Amino acid sequence: MKISDQTTLMKNPNVAIAGATGLVGRKMIQVLEERNFPLASLKLLATAQSAGKVLSFSGKPLIVEEMTPRSFVGVDLALFSAGARASKEFAPIAAALGTLVIDNSSAFRMDPVVPLVVPEVNPGDIRRHKGIIANPNCSTIQMVVVLQPLHERFRIKRVVVSTYQSVTGAGKRALKQLESEIAQEPLGERKFPHQIAYNALPQVDVFVEAGFTREEIKMVQETRKIMHDDSIQIAPTCVRVPVIGGHSESVNLEFERPFELDAVMELLRHSPGITVQDDVAQSIYPMPIWAHEKDDVFVGRIRRDTTVASGLHLWIVSDNLRKGAATNAVQIAEVWLAQRQTAEAQRA
């Protein structure tokens, strides 16, 4: 679909979404539209099963196409949310054609040449991309947005985090499993190893090493890469809960430096991408039903941990499909676009 006129066509990128029919892909369409992202054209890609489906962008119908190596010819920017296998196959092809890939999967996140970016934390890393930029794991994104300003001021030594993760973090089949279990409808293939309705599973993704799941390992490795600090100790436990609006995290921090609670509150209130919701007398604290469809990371239950010299408890909630995936990817694209426009202006 051509959206802009001839003048903007020269400057605005042709965009593709790989995995457009998934939970994240559909949210990407919505976020691009809401933020009025300046694109020249939008191409929607998925598997052959979805080819011909009609989705809409800015009130206009768009037909989904099967993703093939030819899909990226003439595409300047591709937002990938089609899973790690598809990313490994197609992202290098797109990058070789000159497309900038912003990839939501785990395929390239720990590749040393691929920047792993949360724009509130390490926007400068975008500049050193070689065709692919990775979007971090959803649980990691919402945590580092809050950790970064605290680390700069008080130096974090250790993080103990327990997650309460929404089923939407595991894709459309996971959501279907929860809905079918609640409705007591027959279920096809399960996404989770157990019933998720009325339950809590202390397993997100598969178990990989020393009793930890892949999600837990990602939280450790990705946090250190994004924050450029391998010294931070992180002890994670990731739990799937029957929630739809977003992920919640109980986070306990130990700092090197002493702090005053008022200073922490003030710092978080003035840090980008964060909304403080903390009025316990009124039972005000972050919850997935309030975070749902919002772009910010919400933090509350901010209190001192008196069991250590300089410790802090936090409760962090964010919509995993937005800041944890689609919004973060589009924000990366916005920074990239601004950098590209500056470079073009300097050349002109």
Ligand X SMILES: NC(=O)c1ccc[n+]([C@@H]2O[C@H](COP(=O)([O-])OP(=O)(O)OC[C@H]3O[C@@H](n4cnc5c(N)ncnc54)[C@H](OP(=O)(O)O)[C@@H]3O)[C@@H](O)[C@H]2O)c1
Q: Segment contacting ligand X (CB under 6 A): 20-28, 147-155, 248-256, 262-270?
A: 20-28
The amino acid occupying position 335 is V
Strand-pair partners of 314: 251
Pick from 15, 16, 24, 243: which binds ligand X (CB under 6 A)?
24
Q: Could you tell me the smallest distance in angstroms from the CB atom of residue 214 to ligand X?
A: 11
Tokens standing for residue 342: 């500056």
Nearer to ligand X among residue 31 and residue 156 (C-beta): 31
Beta bridge partners of 316: 249, 299
Q: Give CA–CA dist 348/343, Å, rounded.
A: 9
Closer by beta carbon to ligand X, 264 or else 316 = 316
The pattern of x and - marking residues 102 through 141 that bind ligand X according to CB under 6 A reads --xx--------------------------------x---
Query: Which of 74, 84, 35, 91 is closest to 335 using CA atoms?
Result: 35
Dump the DSSP string for 155-194.
-EEEEEEEEEE-GGGG-HHHHHHHHHHHHT---SS-SSSS
Choosing from 320, 327, 330, 336, the residue that interacts with ligand X (CB under 6 A) is 320
d(CA 164, CA 170): 13
- Angstrom distance (rounded) from CA 54 to CA 34: 19
- Residues 249 and 164: beta-carbon distance below 8 Å: yes
The four Cα atoms 85, 86, 88, 94 give a dihedral, to 10 degrees, of 180
Tell me if 159 contacts ligand X by CB under 6 A: no
Among 321, 332, 333, 337, binds ligand X (CB under 6 A): 321
26 Rama sector, left if φ>0, alpha if ψ -120 to 50, beta otherwise: alpha
* Identity of the residue, 86 or 287, whose beta carbon is nearer to ligand X in the bound complex: 86
Give 129 or 240: the residue with its C-beta nearer to ligand X. Answer: 240
Contact status: 171 vs ligand X (CB under 6 A):
yes
Which positions from 323 to 342 touch ligand X by CB under 6 A, shown as an x/- string? -xx-----------------
Shortest distance, CB of residue 31 to ligand X, whole angstroms?
13
Assess whether 247 carries a catalytic annotation.
yes
Chain residue at closest Cβ approach to ligand X: 22
Which of the residues are catalytic?
Answer: 138, 247
* Residues that bind ligand X in the complex, under the rule CB under 6 A: 19-25, 45-47, 49-50, 67, 81-84, 86, 104-105, 138, 168-169, 171-172, 320-321, 324-325
